[in-house]
Structure 1
Amino acid sequence: MISCSCMAYSTIERGSQFTADYRIYICDKNSRPISPLHDIPLFHNVSKKIFNMIVEIPRWTNAKMEISREEELNPIKQDVKNGKPRFVANCFPHHGYIWNYGALPQTWENPEHIDKNTDAKGDNDPIDVLEIGYRVAKCGEIVQVKIVGTIAVIDESETDWKLIAININDPLASVVNDIEDVEKHFPGLLKATVEWFKIYKIPDGKPANKFAFNEEAKPATFALNVVEEVHKFWRQLVNGETDNHEISLTNTTLMKDSFNISNDQANNIINKAPALGPCQPVESIVDKWHFIHQNRLF
């Protein structure tokens, strides 16, 4: 078991890193297995609007780690493409992800809902978070953040909100409260963020992503309204008010009769996963730098 910096949570690894069977399960302070999607509260502090963020991908890394929607307890796993673990391409001058990338628990972008701001449906995922503080987090870590803005990526005709947030323990957290503060204290990061999302799939043969709002970031108040909406959609999901879209609702704390399981049952799920093995080598092509000009690959 690997402890997270947030003492309330810890992680259990199964399988071998950089393979299709690698999983990271989350446990609470009592070492009880939980679902990061359902059991971790959205808010760390409601009155101060401080949120819990699940880190899926640490800054500068390429492995496309994500919360598994379909599996019981929703462990973090590496996405698979063409039968192989997926790594995101390095698009010059960026190396891997340029923020700590993750999601807010207890949120869901409803694929049946057409967003009035983007005129596109949700992507069936928890809402994404880009944490911009200086510290490189760990996969599976739960960090406390405040939200300072958002951009709206239109990814394959789906709304894919990207919340911009900062770790509350970052030295700049006290002076970064809204989107204009990001440009002031992190000059160039918003522009780089839009560029990153626009081009990162081009090496895979896909077109450049598009954005709502003419590629402009929206302020904190707007972003918080988006969070409120996707939290509402999550409540409808776990209450059975909408189709579950193959999302596992298994949890250990919500006390929903149909989906709540005991600690022993949760441990059995983890114990059925392959034992932790050695990290597997990564193909050298993962380190390749791709040069893109006017949305064309060179």
Structure 2
Amino acid sequence: MGFQQYKEDFVEYLQIEKNASPYTVTFYQDDLDSFFLFLKSEGIKDLKEVNYVVIRIFLTKLYDKKLSRRSVSRKISSLRTFFRMLERNEVVESNPFVSVSLPKKDNPIPEFLYAEELEKLFTVSDLTTPLGQRNQALLELLYGTGMRVSECTNLKLHSLDFSIGTVLVRGKGNKERYIPFGSYAQEALERYMNDGREKLLKKGNGSKDHLFLNARGTELTPRGIRLILNEMVKNSSLTVHVHPHKLRHTFATHLLNEGADLRSVQELLGHENLSSTQIYTHVTKDHLRKIYLNSHPRA
């Protein structure tokens, strides 16, 4: 059996047995493709030949490309899962990636926006135009819920429940969760859905169910959202870089700074493990220290 067939079997395994999201499947396929290219460059035609020495050479080449520890860790995890499938199907006798340890993660403090910076972003959209209404609704929803950009682009009209102010989000592994949103987001969404979205819909033959549409009337993509945010930053004269995940970081940081508990924020973000949410405590500790130093008489 050739590498391509193993790849197809792996994709099927991820989709059916692991219930992996389309984005996870894409990343795993890319990781597998890069590994197969490496094997061909080394003259390795049989996956049974892959051992610890081969893997060390592969990892060395990854580090030579200046890949981050996080990227290398993901590739190791992808290939470990791939060889686990091969071992189960008796293609290989054992999983050679089991003995490979993941590189220690960098734990940079997540970047976030201050309230003053956000206020500038909220004032740049022309709310008399369909695109301006869409951009405002998009910004309000991303900041108001902390959802991932992929979750945002997959939203349908029926995902929103204005009667109780919640949105149903399908996250990683197709896991669903409800996230509440506030009055600012609701006002922006209703304006867009009742006016701007109807006008955009007439421009194309795209999905009539997707919440956010592009200028051609078809569903908005993650890349499209990034371009929109970049344009909004440019129009606001801000000097900071804003990406969708930065709004997610901002959502979590602001909640914790205002007294929300870590478990609640974990649930809102859709993190499977609390450790993923704990990166935000670095920011809040810094915030608390500043308050202490500025407020305590004997600080």
Query: What TM-score does the superposition give when structure 1 sets the normalisation length?
Result: 0.23
Q: Which has the higher helix share?
A: 2
Q: Which has the larger radius of gyration?
A: 2
Higher strand share: 1
Whose relative contact order is higher, 1 or 2, with alpha carbons under 8 Å and at least 6 apart? 1
